[in-house]
Amino acid sequence: MGNQTELHKPVQYWAAACGPIAMIMAGVGFIMAHFLPPPEPSRGVVETVAFLTAHANAIRAGLLIMCLSGGTYILFSVLLTMHLNRVEGHFNILSIFQVVNAALVGFIVIFPNYYWFYALFRPRSPEIMILLNDMGWITFGGFIWNIFWQYVAVAVIVLRDRSNSPIFPRWYGYFTVSVAVGVLPAGLNMWFLDGPMAWNGALSWWLEVTMIASWSYTTFFVLLGVIRRQGEAEAFQNRHVDGAAPQ
Protein backbone atom coordinates (compact mmCIF):
# COMPACT_ATOMS: atom_id res chain seq x y z
CA MET A 1 0.00 0.00 0.00
CA GLY A 2 2.91 2.30 -0.61
CA ASN A 3 1.11 4.05 -3.38
CA GLN A 4 -0.11 7.02 -1.33
CA THR A 5 3.53 8.01 -0.73
CA GLU A 6 4.52 7.21 -4.31
CA LEU A 7 1.93 9.68 -5.51
CA HIS A 8 3.88 12.50 -3.78
CA LYS A 9 0.66 14.31 -2.99
CA PRO A 10 2.22 17.31 -1.20
CA VAL A 11 4.42 17.94 -4.25
CA GLN A 12 1.38 17.56 -6.49
CA TYR A 13 -0.64 20.10 -4.51
CA TRP A 14 2.25 22.57 -4.62
CA ALA A 15 2.68 22.03 -8.35
CA ALA A 16 -1.06 22.63 -8.87
CA ALA A 17 -0.85 25.83 -6.85
CA CYS A 18 1.95 27.00 -9.14
CA GLY A 19 -0.66 27.81 -11.83
CA PRO A 20 -2.39 30.56 -9.80
CA ILE A 21 0.98 31.54 -8.28
CA ALA A 22 2.38 32.12 -11.80
CA MET A 23 -0.64 34.33 -12.60
CA ILE A 24 -0.24 36.34 -9.38
CA MET A 25 3.50 36.79 -9.97
CA ALA A 26 2.89 37.89 -13.55
CA GLY A 27 0.22 40.35 -12.41
CA VAL A 28 2.32 41.79 -9.58
CA GLY A 29 5.36 42.05 -11.87
CA PHE A 30 3.44 43.90 -14.56
CA ILE A 31 1.81 46.27 -12.08
CA MET A 32 5.22 47.03 -10.54
CA ALA A 33 6.61 47.75 -14.02
CA HIS A 34 3.72 50.19 -14.71
CA PHE A 35 2.79 47.87 -17.61
CA LEU A 36 -0.80 47.29 -16.44
CA PRO A 37 -2.79 48.70 -18.21
CA PRO A 38 -0.35 48.49 -21.14
CA PRO A 39 0.82 51.77 -22.71
CA GLU A 40 -0.90 52.57 -26.01
CA PRO A 41 0.95 51.43 -29.16
CA SER A 42 0.09 54.80 -30.73
CA ARG A 43 2.29 56.66 -28.24
CA GLY A 44 5.04 58.64 -29.96
CA VAL A 45 8.81 58.21 -29.67
CA VAL A 46 9.31 61.00 -27.13
CA GLU A 47 6.53 59.81 -24.85
CA THR A 48 7.65 56.17 -25.01
CA VAL A 49 11.26 57.00 -24.19
CA ALA A 50 10.17 59.27 -21.35
CA PHE A 51 7.96 56.51 -19.95
CA LEU A 52 10.66 53.84 -20.14
CA THR A 53 13.42 55.98 -18.62
CA ALA A 54 11.17 57.41 -15.88
CA HIS A 55 10.31 53.91 -14.63
CA ALA A 56 13.59 52.18 -15.55
CA ASN A 57 14.19 50.46 -12.21
CA ALA A 58 10.55 49.59 -11.60
CA ILE A 59 10.39 48.02 -15.07
CA ARG A 60 13.54 45.95 -14.46
CA ALA A 61 12.32 44.74 -11.05
CA GLY A 62 8.76 44.01 -12.17
CA LEU A 63 9.87 42.10 -15.24
CA LEU A 64 12.27 40.02 -13.14
CA ILE A 65 9.24 38.77 -11.19
CA MET A 66 7.56 38.05 -14.52
CA CYS A 67 10.67 36.03 -15.53
CA LEU A 68 10.38 33.90 -12.38
CA SER A 69 6.75 33.09 -13.17
CA GLY A 70 7.78 31.25 -16.37
CA GLY A 71 9.25 28.24 -14.56
CA THR A 72 6.31 28.18 -12.16
CA TYR A 73 3.96 27.81 -15.10
CA ILE A 74 6.07 24.94 -16.48
CA LEU A 75 5.93 23.04 -13.17
CA PHE A 76 2.15 23.46 -13.12
CA SER A 77 1.93 22.18 -16.70
CA VAL A 78 4.13 19.17 -15.94
CA LEU A 79 1.69 18.12 -13.21
CA LEU A 80 -1.20 18.59 -15.66
CA THR A 81 0.72 16.44 -18.17
CA MET A 82 1.15 13.61 -15.65
CA HIS A 83 -2.61 13.44 -15.18
CA LEU A 84 -3.33 13.83 -18.91
CA ASN A 85 -0.95 10.84 -19.36
CA ARG A 86 -3.26 8.78 -17.16
CA VAL A 87 -6.10 9.56 -19.58
CA GLU A 88 -4.08 8.96 -22.72
CA GLY A 89 -2.20 5.80 -21.74
CA HIS A 90 1.18 4.62 -22.97
CA PHE A 91 1.23 6.14 -26.44
CA ASN A 92 0.88 9.66 -25.10
CA ILE A 93 1.53 11.82 -28.16
CA LEU A 94 -0.87 14.60 -27.21
CA SER A 95 0.30 14.86 -23.57
CA ILE A 96 3.87 15.31 -24.77
CA PHE A 97 2.76 17.79 -27.44
CA GLN A 98 0.97 19.64 -24.66
CA VAL A 99 3.99 19.79 -22.33
CA VAL A 100 6.38 20.84 -25.10
CA ASN A 101 4.08 23.73 -25.90
CA ALA A 102 3.77 24.56 -22.18
CA ALA A 103 7.57 24.72 -21.94
CA LEU A 104 7.62 27.18 -24.83
CA VAL A 105 4.92 29.24 -23.07
CA GLY A 106 7.21 29.35 -20.04
CA PHE A 107 9.96 30.59 -22.32
CA ILE A 108 7.88 33.18 -24.14
CA VAL A 109 6.74 34.94 -20.96
CA ILE A 110 10.44 35.36 -20.08
CA PHE A 111 12.03 36.16 -23.41
CA PRO A 112 10.28 39.46 -24.40
CA ASN A 113 11.20 40.98 -21.04
CA TYR A 114 14.79 40.96 -22.25
CA TYR A 115 13.91 43.45 -25.00
CA TRP A 116 13.07 45.95 -22.27
CA PHE A 117 16.24 45.01 -20.38
CA TYR A 118 18.26 45.72 -23.58
CA ALA A 119 16.38 49.00 -24.10
CA LEU A 120 17.27 50.20 -20.59
CA PHE A 121 20.81 48.76 -20.46
CA ARG A 122 22.60 51.95 -21.56
CA PRO A 123 21.58 55.32 -23.01
CA ARG A 124 20.26 54.63 -26.52
CA SER A 125 18.84 56.56 -29.43
CA PRO A 126 15.03 56.98 -29.15
CA GLU A 127 14.38 55.02 -32.38
CA ILE A 128 16.08 51.95 -30.94
CA MET A 129 14.21 52.35 -27.65
CA ILE A 130 10.83 52.41 -29.37
CA LEU A 131 11.79 49.48 -31.60
CA LEU A 132 12.70 47.36 -28.56
CA ASN A 133 9.48 48.45 -26.83
CA ASP A 134 7.47 47.35 -29.90
CA MET A 135 9.34 44.06 -30.02
CA GLY A 136 8.58 43.49 -26.35
CA TRP A 137 4.86 44.21 -26.54
CA ILE A 138 4.11 42.56 -29.88
CA THR A 139 5.92 39.41 -28.78
CA PHE A 140 4.63 39.34 -25.21
CA GLY A 141 0.98 39.92 -26.10
CA GLY A 142 0.90 38.37 -29.54
CA PHE A 143 2.92 35.19 -29.24
CA ILE A 144 -0.02 32.94 -28.40
CA TRP A 145 0.93 30.18 -30.81
CA ASN A 146 2.18 27.77 -28.16
CA ILE A 147 -0.44 28.44 -25.51
CA PHE A 148 -3.12 27.95 -28.19
CA TRP A 149 -1.81 24.48 -29.03
CA GLN A 150 -1.41 23.64 -25.37
CA TYR A 151 -5.12 24.37 -24.88
CA VAL A 152 -6.10 22.42 -27.99
CA ALA A 153 -4.13 19.37 -26.77
CA VAL A 154 -5.69 19.54 -23.28
CA ALA A 155 -9.19 19.84 -24.75
CA VAL A 156 -8.73 16.93 -27.15
CA ILE A 157 -7.30 14.62 -24.46
CA VAL A 158 -10.04 15.46 -21.96
CA LEU A 159 -12.88 15.14 -24.49
CA ARG A 160 -11.54 11.85 -25.88
CA ASP A 161 -11.86 10.24 -22.43
CA ARG A 162 -15.15 8.37 -22.92
CA SER A 163 -14.83 6.16 -19.84
CA ASN A 164 -17.63 5.95 -17.29
CA SER A 165 -15.54 7.67 -14.62
CA PRO A 166 -13.46 10.20 -16.57
CA ILE A 167 -10.35 11.55 -14.83
CA PHE A 168 -11.10 15.15 -15.88
CA PRO A 169 -14.70 16.48 -15.98
CA ARG A 170 -16.01 16.91 -19.52
CA TRP A 171 -17.06 20.53 -19.00
CA TYR A 172 -13.38 21.31 -18.39
CA GLY A 173 -12.56 20.04 -21.90
CA TYR A 174 -15.26 22.19 -23.46
CA PHE A 175 -14.21 25.21 -21.40
CA THR A 176 -10.64 24.79 -22.65
CA VAL A 177 -11.92 24.87 -26.25
CA SER A 178 -13.39 28.34 -25.71
CA VAL A 179 -10.24 29.52 -23.97
CA ALA A 180 -8.25 28.42 -27.02
CA VAL A 181 -10.58 30.45 -29.24
CA GLY A 182 -10.39 33.40 -26.84
CA VAL A 183 -6.59 33.76 -26.97
CA LEU A 184 -6.36 33.51 -30.74
CA PRO A 185 -7.26 37.14 -31.70
CA ALA A 186 -4.22 38.40 -29.75
CA GLY A 187 -2.05 36.83 -32.45
CA LEU A 188 -3.12 39.63 -34.82
CA ASN A 189 -1.79 42.51 -32.68
CA MET A 190 1.03 43.27 -35.16
CA TRP A 191 -1.55 44.91 -37.46
CA PHE A 192 -3.00 47.55 -35.16
CA LEU A 193 -1.83 50.79 -33.59
CA ASP A 194 -5.16 51.28 -31.78
CA GLY A 195 -8.58 49.76 -31.28
CA PRO A 196 -9.63 46.40 -29.83
CA MET A 197 -6.98 44.43 -31.70
CA ALA A 198 -4.01 46.60 -30.65
CA TRP A 199 -1.63 45.20 -28.01
CA ASN A 200 -3.55 47.07 -25.29
CA GLY A 201 -7.00 46.42 -26.83
CA ALA A 202 -10.09 44.69 -25.47
CA LEU A 203 -9.66 41.67 -27.72
CA SER A 204 -5.88 41.40 -28.01
CA TRP A 205 -5.00 42.10 -24.40
CA TRP A 206 -7.87 42.09 -21.91
CA LEU A 207 -9.66 39.06 -23.36
CA GLU A 208 -6.36 37.21 -23.70
CA VAL A 209 -5.19 37.79 -20.11
CA THR A 210 -8.67 37.09 -18.73
CA MET A 211 -8.81 33.81 -20.61
CA ILE A 212 -5.31 32.71 -19.58
CA ALA A 213 -5.85 33.65 -15.92
CA SER A 214 -9.29 32.04 -15.67
CA TRP A 215 -8.02 28.89 -17.37
CA SER A 216 -5.13 28.64 -14.90
CA TYR A 217 -7.40 29.10 -11.89
CA THR A 218 -10.00 26.67 -13.27
CA THR A 219 -7.30 24.10 -14.01
CA PHE A 220 -5.99 24.52 -10.47
CA PHE A 221 -9.39 23.68 -8.97
CA VAL A 222 -9.96 20.82 -11.43
CA LEU A 223 -6.51 19.42 -10.57
CA LEU A 224 -7.29 19.54 -6.83
CA GLY A 225 -10.20 17.18 -7.48
CA VAL A 226 -8.15 15.00 -9.84
CA ILE A 227 -5.32 14.65 -7.28
CA ARG A 228 -7.77 13.89 -4.47
CA ARG A 229 -9.51 11.17 -6.49
CA GLN A 230 -6.24 9.71 -7.82
CA GLY A 231 -5.48 7.67 -4.69
CA GLU A 232 -9.02 6.31 -4.56
CA ALA A 233 -8.92 5.18 -8.17
CA GLU A 234 -5.52 3.53 -7.81
CA ALA A 235 -6.43 1.83 -4.51
CA PHE A 236 -9.54 0.52 -6.23
CA GLN A 237 -7.51 -0.81 -9.15
CA ASN A 238 -5.02 -2.53 -6.81
CA ARG A 239 -7.83 -4.26 -4.97
CA HIS A 240 -9.19 -5.36 -8.29
CA VAL A 241 -5.85 -6.75 -9.48
CA ASP A 242 -5.35 -8.59 -6.19
CA GLY A 243 -8.42 -10.59 -7.02
CA ALA A 244 -10.59 -9.21 -4.26
CA ALA A 245 -14.06 -8.38 -5.50
CA PRO A 246 -14.52 -4.61 -5.71
CA GLN A 247 -16.83 -3.43 -2.92
Partner 1 sequence: MNAADAIPTRSDSAPRIPGDPGAWALIFTEMAIFGFLFFAFLVEKAWDRPLFEHSRALLDPAIGFANTALLLTSSCIVYYGVDRYRVGQEKAGRIALFATILCATLFIGIKVTEYGGKLHSGLTPQTNIFFSYYYALTGLHLVHVVAGATMLWFALRQSSMRARGARIRFVEFAGCFWHMVDLLWIVIFPLLYLS
Q: List the interface residues with partner 1, window 181-200 (CB under 8 A).
A: 181-182, 185, 191-197
Provide DSSP, 156-193: HHHHH--SSS-SS-HHHHHHHHHHHHHHGGGGGGGG-S
Q: Taking the complex as a whole, how short is the minimal distance between the CB of residue 166 and partner 1, in angstroms? A: 10
Nearer Cβ to partner 1 (142/182): 182
CA dist 69 → 110, 185, 213 (Å): 8, 24, 13
Which of 8, 160, 170, 228 contacts partner 1 by CB under 8 A? 170
Q: Taking the complex as a whole, how short is the minimal distance between the CB of residue 144 and partner 1, in angstroms? A: 15
Nearer Cβ to partner 1 (5/165): 165
Per-residue binder mask for partner 1 (CB under 8 A), 103-142, x = binder: ----------------------------------------
Q: List the interface residues with partner 1, window 28-67 (CB under 8 A).
A: none
Nearer Cβ to partner 1 (115/172): 172
Backbone angles phi, psi at 145, to 5 degrees: -65, -30
**CA dist., res. 120 & res. 126, Å (int):** 11
Q: Taking the complex as a whole, how short is the minimal distance between the CB of residue 190 and partner 1, in angstroms? A: 12
Q: Taking the complex as a whole, how short is the minimal distance between the CB of residue 133 and partner 1, in angstroms? A: 20
Per-residue binder mask for partner 1 (CB under 8 A), 198-217, x = binder: ---xxx--xx--xx------
Nearer Cβ to partner 1 (67/186): 186
- Identify the DSSP state of 42: T
The Cβ of residue 86 has, within 10 Å, a number of other Cβ atoms equal to: 16
* Cβ–Cβ under 8 Å, residues 98 and 84: yes
| CB-based contacts of 240, cutoff 8 Å, min separation 6 | 246
**CA dist., res. 20 & res. 216, Å (int):** 6
Q: Which amino acid is at 93?
A: I
Residues binding partner 1: number (CB under 8 A): 27
Site residues for partner 1 per CB under 8 A: 169-175, 177-179, 181-182, 185, 191-197, 201-203, 206-207, 210-211
